Structure 1
Amino acid sequence: MQAKGAPLQNTPPAVLRRAITLPLLIFYGLGVTIGAGIYVLVGATAAQAGIYAPASFLVAAVVMLFSAGSFSELSGRFPQSAGEAAYVEAAFKTPSLTILTGALLLLAGTVSAAAITVGCAGYIATLLPLPLWMIIVLSVAISGVVAAWGILESVRFAAVLTLVEVLGLVIVVTAGIWHQPTIILALPSVFPDPSDTAALGAIALTSLVAFFAFIGFDGMVNIIEETENPARNMPLGIFITLMISTLLYFSVAAVAVLLLPLEELSTSTAPISLLFERLTGVSPFAITLIAIAAAFNGIVIQTILSSRIIYGMAKVGRLPKGLALLNTRTRTPLIATVLVTASTLMFALFFPIGILAERTSQLVLVVFILINLSLLRIKWRGDPAPDGIFIAPVVVPIVGLITCIAMLAGPFIAIL
């Protein structure tokens, strides 16, 4: 028997809980993607690209598609919670580059969560007569508690909210077609003439904002240690999430720009609520609640993703080991979650949503460039891949690299 007061012996360390099935993984990806997407940014894209806003979402989706292929293969080669940082480490074996990647991801995750928080606060403010700063503080605090609750509980919670937010978008699209059935015939008008360079330039610039709406699948790889059968489920989850998000984004953006005055749409702080009210004549209360749920879902999931990046990097020694400690009851990295929550609050309180969305997109594009380069280097070295994983043709990371560089450089070229 063990002496009283002696430390416990042979107690296994807490490990992440492998409990996420393919449906939960897809809901997780959709939750963070849609929560950071159309509910918050349809007005911002309309302000920049006008009637061509739907085309901007398609451009962003194409850029995402090739990088999604690189992520799918790398997640099978290196199934670690550190995700992108682990891939860069394996490719270049340069600690400074690994730490830089992790820092970029952490910054992108917290800035993204802050952008969603600001968007969420805009919807809440239409229902509650509270100061915006107070709404932001409460939203971030509650999301931090949910993220620390436990991965299965958090993802189940996110899955319920995701069902609600997808249903909300489907209702909006259905209402638009019911209100004006001929809208389907008007869809070609959301694509500019190939000779209209001004429109093409506006689409290219707006795609940087639209790109923010697709951020989510890349974060899915950071919960791979908590996913069942990750070699099969992770690539499927990534591609299904991207496909569903693209369809929903294009449809809602098309309905919005074709049926609402662009000036009114672009200046609304709750654009989906405005669209629903105009299409149905019904109080937007219910759809506003759905929008709040969508945005809150995005905050929770971004908090989880960022905390897992800290956990993964600390676990392999790139950050202090204390940040890899898991709570024995919830089996979540509580210290990392608190740090992410505090950072999110700081950004949300002091920066507007447009700036937050653009900076997030730029940070993520830099990371995507590193990821595509990593896969190219690994393929060039001829590193053997484990059996049964998704293998992307070499053209996938090449095109992914080129498209990410082009999107990142677009605004700077436009200025010149």
Structure 2
Amino acid sequence: MGDFFKKQSVANFLEVDSRLTKSLTAKDLLALGIGAIIGTGIFILPGHEAAMHAGPAVAIAFLMSGIVAGTVGMAYAEFSSAMPVAGSAYSFGSVIYGEGIGWILGWSLILEYFLSVSAQSVGFASYFNNNILGAFGIHLPKFLSAGPMEGGGINLTAVLIVFVIAYVIAHGTSLSKRVENVAVIIKVTIIVLFIIVGAFYVNTKNYVPFYPAEFHSSPFGLGGLSTSAATVFFAFIGFDALASNSAETINPKKDVAKGILGTVFIAIVLYVAFSLVLTGVVNYKDLNVDDPAAYALKVIHLNFWNKLITLGALVGIFTALLTLFFGGSRLVYALGRDGLLPKKMGEVDAKYSVPKNAIYMATVVQAFFAGLVPLTELTSLINAGTLLAFIFISFGIIPLRRRKDIPNDGYKMPWYPVLPVLAGLASLYFLLMLPKLSKITVVIWLVIGAIVYLVYGLKHSKLQNESKN
């Protein structure tokens, strides 16, 4: 147990991560964050959650999860200011709680990132196949447009977009940054246009009942709304990727906080407005489709705007893929850097200063899930690992403040210690409100992770071997 709780040194992380190129500004981080958060979450989740859990009150679900995510984001920002290293919650947890807890958080976030990229890829494929290929009269056979769980063979478009993103990520931070900055402007503009145009076609009868009685399960009749809020946390996980990029940020003490908090604020405004317009244009019962925004515009016969929202969805999901792939590959790199995964995962390519082996491994896993598993199954599995990390990072602010060896003259979470505790408790509540399948899956994943750590990690860990020598 002493080995399990042995703490990492911030100085060691900073020394190793100095190989990564510092090129990101607050503006770049804001673009990366919006790129991650405004993706499949806004273009697909509002429809599914309105139909299955919340009705038009899905807008309130997004507001609830956004407020909690923003509060937890403050904790991430303080950690990034105090420890500007790669690996996000894994690295933070290893320093504050010990390597074993850090590994659990890292293992949870691997599941989050890889499944998020796979889910975004399936969302991209839905819009592309239905609205781009379909417009040209091209209809892929089911064997090439759906995985075996949906009666097909492989979702080819989803697999191909994973490989395209991998190519961009493998060619350095500068290329990823340029693509992201331009694409974010395009998609936010299109989303705002959808909100403005769609507002003229809202039928207020679709808002009645706003929170349908069929979803009034316990506790206190808020079960459906709470489940929806817990599920749409998938939409807000992008800020974790910003914390992963703090080692490549020029001024992490200030800019990571600006990126995280700015991202969450913009995302809340867009998600709530988008959901209200969507459920006002089309009755919530008809929105359980993978391209609800495009579907809504078809219903009101706005064919030009339908094509425009499809373009926005494709650009939006593309940028989300970039940020999430970026964050996931950096997490794998961090685990390889510390010997908890094979050391090749921690190597940095000399030409582009990126962890190419980590990128290759992430590509294979993400393409596998994207090609074979449906979107609804993927999104239901993601949030448990995310919320587990949120709990530890929120409560972790308290021991972080007590560490005199980790000075922080940058961003600090306000209303300490009340706000960190409230953020941790809120994350715990949403974790308990997740669907049963999500909780079972994350328990199985954590058991596998514990076995990997005990069999491989403890033996190869640099921290453990250094202390023995």
Q: In the alignment, what sits opposite 2:39?
A: 35
Amino acid at match of 2:303: V
1:208 is aligned to 2:213: no
Question: Structure 1 residue 105: deviation in Å?
Answer: 1.0
The Cα of 1:388 is off from its aligned counterpart by: 2.9
Matched, 1:365 2:387: yes
CA offset at residue 190 of structure 1? 4.3
Query: Corresponding residue for 2:398?
Result: 376
Determine the C-alpha separation between the residues in 2 that align with 1:274 and 1:186. 16
Matching residue of 1:404: 427
User: Separation in 2 of the partners of 1:34 and 1:289?
Assistant: 13
Aligned counterpart, 1:21: 25
* 1:349 aligns to 2:371 (yes or no): yes
Higher relative contact order (CA 8 A, sep 6+): 1
Change in Cα spacing, 1:149 to 1:205, as seen in structure 2 (3 Å) is same
| Alpha-carbon separation, structure 2, partners of 1:71 and 1:221 | 7
- SS of 1:250's partner is helix
Preserved CA contact (<8 Å) 2:82 2:410: no
Partner SS for 1:179: coil
Q: 2:48 aligns with which of 32, 40, 44?
A: 44
Aligned residue number for residue 221 of structure 1: 243
Q: How far 1:379 moved relative to its partner?
A: 3.2
Tell me, yes or no, if structure 1 residue 137 matches structure 2 residue 156. Answer: no
Contact residue 114 and residue 344 of structure 1 kept, 8 A: yes
Distance apart, 1:189 and its partner CA: 7.0
Give the letter for the 1:171 counterpart.
L
Residue 13 to residue 264, structure 1, CA distance change in 2 (3 Å): closer
Match of 1:290 in 2: 312
Cα distance, 1:60 vs. partner?
A: 0.7
Cα distance in 2 for residues equivalent to 1:314 and 1:290: 36
Query: For the residues of structure 2 that align with 1:391 and 1:200, how far apart are their CA atoms?
Result: 29
Task: State the alpha-carbon separation in 2 of the partners of residues 374 and 121 from structure 1.
Answer: 39
For structure 1, the residue ranges without an aligned partner over 5 or more in a row are: 1-11
TM-score of the pair, normalised by structure 1: 0.89
Q: Percent identity?
A: 25
2:130 pairs with 1:108: no
Runs of 4+ in structure 1 off by over 6 angstroms are 185-189, 412-415
Structure 1: distance between partners of 2:285 and 2:212: 19
Q: Report the counterpart of residue 408 of structure 2 in structure 1.
A: 386
Cα deviation, 1:305-364, whole Å, max 9, x if unaligned, reads 111112223223433332122222211111100111111112122322122112111110
What secondary structure is seen at the aligned counterpart in 1 of 2:287? helix
Counterpart of 2:67 in structure 1 is 62
Residue 332 to residue 399, structure 1, CA distance change in 2 (3 Å): same
Post-superposition Cα deviations, 1:132-171, rounded to whole Å, max 9, x if no partner, equal 2211221111111111121121022112221111112101
Instruction: Give the aligned length.
Output: 399
Is contact 2:345–2:357 with CA below 8 Å preserved after alignment?
yes
| Cα 1:38–1:13 shift into 2, 3 Å | closer
Contact 1:84 1:101 in 2 (8 A): yes
- Of 378-387 and 320-329, the range deviating more from structure 2: 378-387
2:83 aligned residue: 78
Task: Give 5+ residue unaligned stretches, structure 2.
Answer: 1-15, 134-138, 146-154, 440-469
Structure 2 CA distance for partners of 1:57 and 1:349, relative to 1, 3 Å: same
Identify the residue that residue 271 of structure 1 maps to in structure 2.
292
Match of 2:302 among 267, 277, 281: 281
Distance change (3 Å), C-alpha of 1:152 and 1:164: same
Task: Please give the root-mean-square deviation of Cα atoms over the aligned residues, in Å.
Answer: 2.7
Amino acid at match of 2:361: L
In the TM superposition, what are the counterparts of 1:81-230 in structure 2 within 5 Å? 81-93=86-98, 95-126=99-130, 127-128=132-133, 129-130=139-140, 131-132=144-145, 133-180=155-202, 190=210, 200-230=222-252
Asked if structure 1 preserves the Cα contact closer than 8 Å seen for 2:239 and 2:260, the reply is yes
The equivalent of 1:8 in structure 2 is none
Tell me, yes or no, if the aligned pair for 1:40 and 1:120 is still in contact at 8 Å: no
Deviation, 1:253, is 0.3
Shift of residue 13 of structure 1?
11
| Residue aligning to 2:322 | 300
1:37 aligns to what SS in structure 2?
helix
Contact 1:140 1:341 in 2 (8 A): yes
TM-score scaled to structure 2, two decimals?
A: 0.79
Aligned to 1:4: none
The answer (yes or no) to whether the contact 2:65–2:233 under 8 Å persists in 1 is yes
| Residues 347 and 355 in structure 2, CA contact (< 8 A), matched pair in contact too | yes
Amino acid in structure 1 at the alignment position of 2:369: F
Q: Distance in 2 between matches of 1:66 and 1:173?
A: 26
Please tell me whether the aligned partners of residues 390 and 424 of structure 2 are also in contact (alpha carbons under 8 angstroms).
Answer: yes
Q: What amino acid sits opposite 2:126 in the alignment?
A: G
Structure 1 165/279 Cα, relative in aligned 2: closer, same or farther at 3 Å? Answer: farther
Alpha-carbon shift at residue 381 of structure 1 (Å): 5.6
